[in-house]
Amino acid sequence: MDRTPVIVGIGLSDHPKAPHLNGVQHHVLAARRAIADAGIDKASIDGYVNAGGGGGMMVDDAVTMAEYLGIDHRYVDGTMTGGSSFEFHVQHLAAAIRDGLCDTALVTYGSDQLTRMGRSLGTGGMHRGQQRVAGPSGYEAPYGNSLVGSYAMHAQRHMHEFGTTSEQLAEIAVGVREFASLNPNAIYRDPITVDDVLSSRMIADPLHLLDCCAITDGGGAFIMTTADRARDLPQAPVYVLGAAGGQTHWNISQQSDFTSSAGARVGPIAFEQAGVTHDDVDLLMFYDSFTITCLILLESLGFVPKGQGGPFVAEGHLKRGGKWPLNTDGGGLSACHPGMRGIFLILEAVRQLRGQGGEAQVPDCEVAIAAGSGGWLSCIGVAILGKEHP
């Protein structure tokens, strides 16, 4: 039997605004659509993975959702590394499928973040009123740093060391928005310019409003199985060529290098497993919580030398028609960001590799990389996917 791990089904729940769904319902709707897309019976699923999401306290963790979905599993995984969780899930499931720990696995995510929390997430301090902040974060909270502020420190340092400019970061937002204009489900579709980004209000210097991701509802799911089983299914399989993950820190006070990420360590592992080079890659699906996130991933994963990302971006290489199109669904900056966006990177990569990208389809897309970032560029997960197995 050929136990090469492949993705055979994908599904999105309703997004970017879905006041009719709670977080658990996003999991369920995405799962139903992924199962239908794969053309399998739910009873054949013997593995289940999730990272929680937006359903509330302990109501959508892996074991609770497995019960709710009626998954009779022999493999379960609840790894949570923030937005990169799902790239870690690909890594874990690829190993589990190869080793026979399960044959067909479902991964789900769901969040009603926008409906539940509104649009203020991440702009305030980490300490709220008399609420206590547990663990090591309690040593940072009194200083009033915000989620956005942690990324702003990365941007400030990159600018200081390499001369990166706000204009160069803005080009990332402009290029991603162009793809969002082609996605009828994107929350923001109107074209923007570099001047629009720079004139939007400052959130955490040097990051402007349009340097920051959207806040939305949404969910996603995908099905992984063996290449042998995929032969009987309706969708062309997408092969997991390589996957790796790593962590440099969690709390921002423990970050040792604000201009890099764990991608510098795990990227080479994923590329070696995949047997491909950077020039073989046709599509970049990078976590774009903020524009600086993409720039640091671009450099730390080795697509451009460290410090040269800004000029490279400014030349248009990540835009539609460029060398490495970035986030063809519109990304977290313009399409959807329900809290942990890493699953959407995988789903869009699969769509593109199947040739189902619609107006945003990348011509001759054969290899795609999904790189998720969890925390504050803390945990990086990388999955390299291909239309064919080498």
Percent of the chain whose pLDDT exceeds 70:
94
User: Mean pLDDT throughout 94-118?
Assistant: 94
CATH of the domain at 292: 3.40.47.10
Question: Between the CA of residue 361 and those of 49, 320, 357, what are the distances in Å?
Answer: 29, 10, 4
Residue 64 covered by a domain: yes
Q: What range does the domain containing 27 cover?
A: 5-118+217-240
Indicate whether 47 and 112 sit together in one domain.
yes
Read off the pLDDT of residues 146-185 as tens digits, 9 standing for 90 and up: 889 999 999 999 999 999 999 999 999 999 999 999 999 9
Q: Decide if 130 is inside a domain.
A: no
Shared-domain flag, residues 326 and 339: yes
Residues 378 and 279 in one domain: yes
Average pLDDT, stretch 72-76?
A: 97
| pLDDT tops 70 at residue 18 | yes
Residue-level pLDDT at 317? 98
Indicate whether 57 and 168 sit together in one domain. Answer: no
In a domain, 140, yes or no: no
Q: Is residue 138 part of a domain?
A: no
pLDDT in tens, 225-257: 999 999 999 999 999 999 999 999 999 999 999
Query: 162 with 299, same domain?
Result: yes
**Same domain flag for 158 and 259:** yes
Of 196, 225, 240, the residue that ends a domain is: 240
Residue 268 lies in a domain: yes
% of the chain beyond a pLDDT of 90: 88
Q: Are residues 267 and 338 in the same domain?
A: yes
Looking only at the bridges linking them, the beta strands covering 367-374 and 283-286 are: parallel
Contacts of 344 (CB under 8 A, 6+ apart): 12, 218, 220, 329, 332, 335, 336
Q: Would you say residue 57 has pLDDT above 50?
A: no
Task: Judge whether 123 lies within some domain.
Answer: no
Q: Number of folded domains in the chain?
A: 2
200 inside domain = yes
Same domain, 14 and 100: yes
Same domain, 158 and 104: no
Residues 6+ apart with CB under 8 A from 160: none
User: Does 184 reside within a domain?
Assistant: yes
269 shares a domain with 247 = yes
Amino acid 224: pLDDT = 98
Residues 246 and 226 in one domain: no
Residues 80 and 33 in one domain: yes
Query: 54-58, 119-123, 269-273, 340-344: which range is least confident on average?
Result: 54-58
Angle at 152 between CA 312 and CA 303, to 5 degrees: 25
pTM confidence score: 0.95
What average pLDDT does range 109-131 have in this prediction? 66
